[in-house]
Amino acid sequence: RPGFYPLLTLDPGVAAEVIDTGINMGPAIASRFLQTAINANCAPARLTVDGKVGRATIAAYSACQRSIGAVTFCTRVLGSLDAQQEQRYRRIVQNQPSQAVFLKGWIAHRIGNVDRASCQ
């Protein structure tokens, strides 16, 4: 339903990260992270960051793969997704210090949890 399905054939590693983030933080946040990562890592991309993965997001991802190279783009996007997710965890702790007990586990298990070797 959140529109992640086409990513499974385009880039299984990025799909795994987006789905994992969607389960952990909600699909709209994961979608915004993906759209932001595409915009940040592919100069011609100018997606509206609306939290909805649709045809434009998938088309932009595919075009960036062709332009930059699938492996390079995958690696960059995974790095960007991880960075955004870590930043959000740290913001949660900053705003709610009681959540600090979870930060180490979040970082250990959610950041870098998709092997970059999946970018093939």
Half-sphere exposure in the Cβ direction for 81 (13 Å, CA)? 30
> What single-letter DSSP state applies at residue 97?
G
Residue 111: pLDDT band by 50, 70, 90 thresholds?
very high
Calculate what percentage of the chain has a pLDDT beyond 90. 94
The Cα–Cα gap between 116 and 120 comes to 9
The Cα–Cα gap between 48 and 36 comes to 9
| pLDDT value, residue 116 | 93
